[in-house]
Amino acid sequence: MPDKIMLKVICMCAVLSGAIAGFLPLIPKLAGAAFILVMFFSAPFTIIYLHRLNFIKDFETARCLTIGALSGFISFIGFSLVYFPIAFILYLIFRIDSFLWIKVLVENIGFLIPVIVLTALLSGLTNMFSAFIILYFYEYLKPKNRG
Protein backbone atom coordinates (compact mmCIF):
# COMPACT_ATOMS: atom_id res chain seq x y z
CA MET A 1 0.00 0.00 0.00
CA PRO A 2 1.31 3.47 -0.80
CA ASP A 3 2.51 5.60 2.09
CA LYS A 4 0.72 8.72 3.36
CA ILE A 5 2.67 11.28 1.33
CA MET A 6 2.10 9.33 -1.85
CA LEU A 7 -1.61 9.01 -1.04
CA LYS A 8 -1.84 12.78 -0.60
CA VAL A 9 -0.13 13.33 -3.96
CA ILE A 10 -2.44 10.80 -5.63
CA CYS A 11 -5.50 12.53 -4.16
CA MET A 12 -4.29 15.99 -5.17
CA CYS A 13 -3.50 14.85 -8.72
CA ALA A 14 -6.85 13.08 -9.05
CA VAL A 15 -8.91 15.96 -7.68
CA LEU A 16 -7.02 18.44 -9.86
CA SER A 17 -7.50 16.37 -13.01
CA GLY A 18 -11.17 15.83 -12.16
CA ALA A 19 -11.73 19.52 -11.47
CA ILE A 20 -10.06 20.55 -14.72
CA ALA A 21 -12.11 17.99 -16.61
CA GLY A 22 -15.22 19.28 -14.79
CA PHE A 23 -14.93 22.63 -16.54
CA LEU A 24 -14.56 21.14 -20.03
CA PRO A 25 -18.13 19.80 -20.46
CA LEU A 26 -19.50 23.27 -19.95
CA ILE A 27 -18.50 23.75 -23.59
CA PRO A 28 -20.99 21.40 -25.26
CA LYS A 29 -18.59 20.18 -27.97
CA LEU A 30 -16.09 18.99 -25.33
CA ALA A 31 -18.53 17.12 -23.07
CA GLY A 32 -17.83 13.65 -24.43
CA ALA A 33 -14.09 14.17 -24.52
CA ALA A 34 -14.05 15.37 -20.91
CA PHE A 35 -16.03 12.37 -19.74
CA ILE A 36 -13.66 9.97 -21.54
CA LEU A 37 -10.71 11.87 -20.10
CA VAL A 38 -11.97 11.34 -16.56
CA MET A 39 -13.11 7.76 -17.10
CA PHE A 40 -9.93 6.43 -18.72
CA PHE A 41 -6.96 8.79 -18.49
CA SER A 42 -6.77 10.00 -14.91
CA ALA A 43 -4.65 7.06 -13.76
CA PRO A 44 -2.05 7.26 -16.55
CA PHE A 45 -1.53 10.96 -15.85
CA THR A 46 -1.17 10.26 -12.14
CA ILE A 47 1.22 7.34 -12.62
CA ILE A 48 3.40 9.25 -15.06
CA TYR A 49 3.49 12.23 -12.68
CA LEU A 50 4.41 10.01 -9.72
CA HIS A 51 7.12 8.38 -11.79
CA ARG A 52 8.54 11.80 -12.67
CA LEU A 53 8.57 12.70 -8.96
CA ASN A 54 10.38 9.38 -8.21
CA PHE A 55 7.57 8.13 -5.96
CA ILE A 56 7.41 5.07 -8.20
CA LYS A 57 10.84 3.67 -8.93
CA ASP A 58 9.97 0.07 -9.69
CA PHE A 59 6.54 -0.72 -11.03
CA GLU A 60 4.66 -3.26 -8.96
CA THR A 61 1.36 -4.52 -10.26
CA ALA A 62 -0.58 -4.13 -7.01
CA ARG A 63 0.71 -0.60 -6.41
CA CYS A 64 -0.12 0.59 -9.93
CA LEU A 65 -3.59 -0.95 -9.81
CA THR A 66 -4.24 0.67 -6.43
CA ILE A 67 -3.11 4.04 -7.77
CA GLY A 68 -5.33 3.58 -10.82
CA ALA A 69 -8.41 2.73 -8.78
CA LEU A 70 -7.88 5.57 -6.30
CA SER A 71 -7.18 8.19 -8.93
CA GLY A 72 -10.14 7.09 -11.04
CA PHE A 73 -12.60 7.17 -8.15
CA ILE A 74 -11.38 10.46 -6.71
CA SER A 75 -11.10 12.18 -10.10
CA PHE A 76 -14.71 11.41 -10.93
CA ILE A 77 -15.85 12.71 -7.54
CA GLY A 78 -13.85 15.91 -8.23
CA PHE A 79 -15.37 16.08 -11.71
CA SER A 80 -18.88 15.81 -10.29
CA LEU A 81 -18.26 18.37 -7.54
CA VAL A 82 -17.19 20.91 -10.14
CA TYR A 83 -19.46 20.11 -13.07
CA PHE A 84 -22.90 19.61 -11.50
CA PRO A 85 -23.09 22.86 -9.48
CA ILE A 86 -21.74 25.01 -12.31
CA ALA A 87 -24.04 23.40 -14.89
CA PHE A 88 -27.03 23.88 -12.57
CA ILE A 89 -26.17 27.55 -12.04
CA LEU A 90 -25.75 28.04 -15.80
CA TYR A 91 -29.15 26.43 -16.34
CA LEU A 92 -30.77 28.73 -13.77
CA ILE A 93 -29.20 31.85 -15.27
CA PHE A 94 -29.39 31.19 -19.02
CA ARG A 95 -32.07 28.44 -19.27
CA ILE A 96 -29.90 26.45 -21.66
CA ASP A 97 -31.82 23.39 -22.83
CA SER A 98 -28.75 21.14 -22.92
CA PHE A 99 -28.46 21.49 -19.13
CA LEU A 100 -32.12 20.60 -18.44
CA TRP A 101 -31.19 17.08 -17.32
CA ILE A 102 -28.84 18.61 -14.73
CA LYS A 103 -31.81 20.45 -13.22
CA VAL A 104 -33.75 17.19 -12.96
CA LEU A 105 -30.82 15.38 -11.34
CA VAL A 106 -30.04 18.15 -8.85
CA GLU A 107 -33.70 18.40 -7.85
CA ASN A 108 -33.65 14.66 -7.12
CA ILE A 109 -30.51 14.65 -4.96
CA GLY A 110 -31.40 11.24 -3.53
CA PHE A 111 -30.94 9.82 -7.02
CA LEU A 112 -27.91 11.94 -7.95
CA ILE A 113 -25.59 10.84 -5.15
CA PRO A 114 -25.84 7.08 -5.83
CA VAL A 115 -25.40 7.72 -9.57
CA ILE A 116 -22.22 9.73 -8.87
CA VAL A 117 -20.85 7.05 -6.52
CA LEU A 118 -21.60 4.18 -8.89
CA THR A 119 -20.11 6.05 -11.85
CA ALA A 120 -17.06 6.89 -9.72
CA LEU A 121 -16.66 3.18 -8.96
CA LEU A 122 -16.87 2.46 -12.67
CA SER A 123 -14.28 5.18 -13.28
CA GLY A 124 -12.03 3.56 -10.70
CA LEU A 125 -12.36 0.23 -12.48
CA THR A 126 -11.62 1.63 -15.95
CA ASN A 127 -8.71 3.67 -14.62
CA MET A 128 -7.37 0.53 -12.95
CA PHE A 129 -7.36 -1.11 -16.38
CA SER A 130 -5.60 1.88 -17.95
CA ALA A 131 -3.05 1.79 -15.11
CA PHE A 132 -2.45 -1.87 -15.98
CA ILE A 133 -1.81 -0.86 -19.60
CA ILE A 134 0.64 1.85 -18.47
CA LEU A 135 2.36 -0.73 -16.25
CA TYR A 136 2.68 -3.07 -19.22
CA PHE A 137 4.21 -0.35 -21.42
CA TYR A 138 6.67 0.69 -18.72
CA GLU A 139 7.74 -2.92 -18.22
CA TYR A 140 7.95 -3.49 -21.97
CA LEU A 141 10.03 -0.37 -22.58
CA LYS A 142 12.31 -0.91 -19.58
CA PRO A 143 15.88 -1.64 -20.68
CA LYS A 144 16.81 -5.26 -20.26
CA ASN A 145 19.92 -6.24 -18.26
CA ARG A 146 22.24 -8.02 -20.61
CA GLY A 147 25.08 -9.72 -18.99
The answer to whether residue 138 scores a pLDDT higher than 90 is no
pLDDT computed for residue 1 by the predictor: 46
pLDDT computed for residue 91 by the predictor: 82
CA of 96: how far to CAs of 19, 84, 92, 103, 121, in Å?
Answer: 22, 14, 8, 11, 30
3-58 pLDDT, tens digit per residue, is: 888 889 999 999 999 999 999 988 878 888 888 989 999 999 999 999 898 888 88
66-109 pLDDT, tens digit per residue, is: 999 999 999 999 999 999 888 888 888 887 777 778 778 878 88
> Whole-model pTM?
0.87
